[in-house]
Amino acid sequence: MAEQTRHILASSTYKQIRDATFDLALLPWAATEAHNYHLPYGTDIIETDRIAAEAGRLACDKGARVIVLPTVPFGVNTGQLDIPLTINMNPGTQMSVLEDVATSLERQGIRKLVLLNGHGGNDFRQMIRELKLRHSLFICTANWYTCVDAKLFFAEPGDHAGEMETSLMLYLAPELVLPLSEAGSGRERKMKIGAFQEGWAWTPREWLKVTSDTGTGDPRAATAEKGKSYFEAVTAKIAGFLMEVASADTEDLYE
């Protein structure tokens, strides 16, 4: 298989895949949503797709047999449907998609599936608990945006289209980033109820009541150099995880 495509299903041919064997499949899952005034709607897709591809490459270079599946472009955006062309995929729909993918892989002899999540509205844990009852396939999930401490790279990472995401996009796809002078402030309105602010109680946020520009986090300190350093740290960390899962005996995971 060609060096640049040996681990990417979307750019591989049947001739390349037919006789290959894989320890695990990596499924990147993103979202399509507004990202302040300066980043594209596909920000989560671009970030998650590129992080998955590079982490898969690094893992393959060290001997893991990983196949990276095409990125799912739609996520849970129930609180953002007042924003034009934000696309919502309900959790129930995600469950159906995930079950179909798991069934396909299981039938084809792939025994492990890693979900690489790139959107805060997605939460696959309950789905995995349910699927475990019906499938022998090992399924786990990881959020790329929490695998390393973003505060080591950014003064104020931000929650959405802030310094962290803007820096990543300046590194990964600078041609799609408008001048930062055109970005909104990313000011976030906090909920009045203290428990929600403290994080031990939760309810979905109504996004246009939270922010006027769709961003939460100030992007003005973003740079491509910061994005590069963060990308390299994140992909290295995920690659290490993929290698561990690929070689693990999933019937013997406890010390």
CB of 97 closer than 8 Å to CB of 72? yes
pLDDT of residue 5: 58
145 burial type by CB count under 10 A (0-12 exposed, 13-18 middle, 19+ buried): buried
Report residues of the chain scoring pLDDT below 50: 1-4
DSSP3 helix / strand / coil % (the chain, rounded to 5): 40, 10, 45
- Residue 48, judged by CB atoms within 10 A of its CB (0-12, 13-18, 19+), counts as buried
Residues 6+ apart with CB under 8 A from 206: 79, 82
**What per-residue confidence (pLDDT) applies to 2?**
40
pLDDT in tens, 181-209: 999 999 999 999 999 999 999 999 999 99
Q: Could you tell me the domains of the chain?
A: 9-247 (3.40.50.10310)
Q: Considering only CA atoms, which of 73, 25, 24 is closest in space to residue 48?
A: 73
State the pLDDT at residue 118. 98
**Contact in structure between 25 and 67 (CB atoms under 8 Å):** yes
Query: Which residues does 12 contact at the CB level (< 8 Å), separation at least 6?
Result: 1, 5, 6
